[in-house]
Amino acid sequence: MGIVNQDNITDVVINSLGKHGTITDREREIATSLIKHLHGFIKDVKLQHSEFLAACDYLARAGKLCNDNRQEFILLGDILGVEVLVDMMTNPIEGGESESTVLGPFYRENPPVLPKGGSTIQKHYDNEETAYFEGYIKDENGNGIAGVTLDVWEDAPNGIYENLDPDQPEYNLRGRFETDENGHYAFVAVRPVPYPIPDDETAGELLRFMGHHPNRPGHMHFIISKDGYRPLISQIYDADSAWLEEDSVFAVKESLIGKFKPAPEGLGTDLHFEFDFVLKTEAAVQAVAAE
Ligand code: BEZ
Ligand code: FE
């Protein structure tokens, strides 16, 4: 029955699913919920046709902004807290493993491979504070894991990532490190400073629509991986940073906050940051999924 009125429209659309082509159970589940929530939202706010057209125009403009350097829909998802929620659904924390958080748009593949204790700093700034980052990558039993790869990246002391700043050398403040036989990692970088996410164009329009700001607290990004373990995409946060409790992309987790301390004599940096991570084995991930 395809004749609609305001009361039956949601059921009519849902009942049409799969009528003229095969769809999977997952597609049906997603489409049913999407239609229910979308129709519910439209009825809730009594969406007007002019507002619907404005939304279509907004999405069209967002789409035109997407290229190799800017993925506007991820950014919009971040501003709405969507990416962090999807990440929490995808990577639930069941044991003592470290929490993940959003990847963000500024990761670059194949960063420079550096020795343990090496430095990612290629350009110096007057306001920089150098820091020695170190810790252990452990399994859920507390044993250090050897040969784990860590990709790290952060913004420069001017608040800009290297790939968006023509005045920084290629791959500045990016590096790939490996844990030693005890699972220990170490590298030199700078204390990350707060910075604004892109707040021009449609991302800026959404921030202003929400009455929000674009700023993120100082953080260091990590991708930690080794065969046999669930890859961990995460960030560590400076406990003393501005915006820690008001992150524009809602990605800060309590367990990811750490403290920069004055470096002990002989370390060669201004500050010292110690942080351990715990990886979950793929076998443990699959066992939970099978439950
Ligand atoms: C970042 O941390 O690099 C980031 C995350 C989400 C949106 C924009 C930037
Ligand atoms: Fe970032």
Residue 159, domain CATH = 2.60.130.10
Domain that holds residue 13: 9-47
Same domain, 103 and 15: no
Same domain, 92 and 148: yes
Q: Is residue 62 part of a domain?
A: no
Q: Is residue 147 part of a domain?
A: yes
Same domain, 177 and 113: yes
Q: Is residue 138 part of a domain?
A: yes
Same domain, 42 and 102: no
Same domain, 33 and 78: no
What pLDDT was estimated at residue 69?
Answer: 74
Work out which ligand 1 atom sits closest to the CA atom of 249: 6
Same domain, 161 and 216: yes
Same domain, 16 and 147: no
What pLDDT was estimated at residue 288?
Answer: 66
What pLDDT was estimated at residue 1?
Answer: 63
What pLDDT was estimated at residue 283?
Answer: 74
Q: From the CA of 129, how far away is ligand 2's center (Å)?
A: 18
Same domain, 161 and 262: yes
Q: Is residue 94 part of a domain?
A: yes
Half-sphere exposure of residue 252, counting CA atoms within 13 Å on the CB side? 20
What pLDDT was estimated at residue 68?
Answer: 79
Same domain, 115 and 218: yes
Count the domains in the chain.
Answer: 2
What pLDDT was estimated at residue 107?
Answer: 94
For the chain, which ranges sit under pLDDT 50?
Answer: none
* Protein residues within 5 Å, CB atom, of ion ligand 2: 104
Work out which ligand 1 atom sits closest to the CA atom of 198: 8
Q: Is residue 3 part of a domain?
A: no
Work out which ligand 1 atom sits closest to the CA atom of 235: 2
Give 220-233 pLDDT, tens digit per residue: 999 999 999 999 99
Q: Is residue 1 part of a domain?
A: no
Same domain, 96 and 183: yes
Same domain, 13 and 145: no
- Of 83, 197, 220, 236, the one to substitute when testing ligand 1's pocket (max ligand atoms within 8 A of C-beta) is 197
* Secondary structure (H, E, C), the chain: CCCCCCCCHHHHHHHCCCCCCCCCHHHHHHHHHHHHHHHHHHHHHCCCHHHHHHHHHHHHHHHHCCECCECHHHHHHHHCCHHHHHHHHHCCCCCCCCCCCCCCCCCCCCCCECCCCCECCCCCCCCCCEEEEEEEEECCCCCECCCCEEEEECCCCCCCCHHHCCCCCCCCCEEEEECCCCCEEEEEEECCCCEECCCCHHHHHHHHHHCCCCEECCEEEEEEECCCECCEEEEEEECCCCCCCCCCCCCCCHHHEECCEECCCCCCCCEEEECCEECCEHHHHHHHHHC
Q: Is the CB of 176 under 6 A from ligand 1?
A: no
Same domain, 91 and 27: no
What pLDDT was estimated at residue 226?
Answer: 98
Q: Write the CB contacts of 111 (distance below 8 Å, at least 6 apart in sequence).
A: 151, 152, 153, 171, 174, 175, 176
Atom 9, ligand 1: residue with shortest CA distance: 104
- Of 76, 102, 223, 234, the one to substitute when testing ligand 1's pocket (max ligand atoms within 8 A of C-beta) is 102
Q: Is residue 63 part of a domain?
A: no
